[in-house]
Amino acid sequence: MQKLHIAISTEKIEETIQDYSQRFNAPPCLVIPGEYALWRTETLNISIRQDLTRSPGSLRHLGWEDPSATEFTMDTDVNGIVWERFTSLHQANEINETWPDTHYQP
């Protein structure tokens, strides 16, 4: 089953983690202190990232966590929104490349 992926920027990472954990009724499955958090529910894959180059709460990108994806892909729609398609392993690889000490496994 595909999960919708939503990536959002924040400048208040800790407060956002608390807020979203209450909204999703679950803690994130991964937290990189001060930088990133990821929730993977049955239907959603949502990440937040401390990103001072973007307005707080702005959309970083959308996509699909799709177990049938054979590779990580990315394209841009007519509105300029970046869409990604990936498996949970592709996402884990990207996380581990960005933060090598994380050793994240989905």
Domains of the chain: 3-98 (3.10.180.10)
Would you place residue 1 in the very low, low, confident or very high pLDDT band (cuts 50, 70, 90)? confident
**What's residue 85's pLDDT?**
98
Residue 16 or 51, more confident: 16
Would you place residue 80 in the very low, low, confident or very high pLDDT band (cuts 50, 70, 90)? very high
**What's residue 91's pLDDT?**
97
Q: Single out the residue of 50, 46, 42 nearest to residue 61, CA to CA.
A: 46
Rounded Cα distance, 99 and 95, in Å: 6
Residue with tokens 């202190």: 33
Rounded Cα distance, 10 and 90, in Å: 23
Q: Which two tokens stand for residue 101?
A: 């000490």
**What's residue 103's pLDDT?**
95
Q: Kindly report, residue by residue over 22-78, the tens digit of the pLDDT.
A: 999 999 999 999 999 999 999 999 999 998 888 999 999 999 999 999 999 999 999
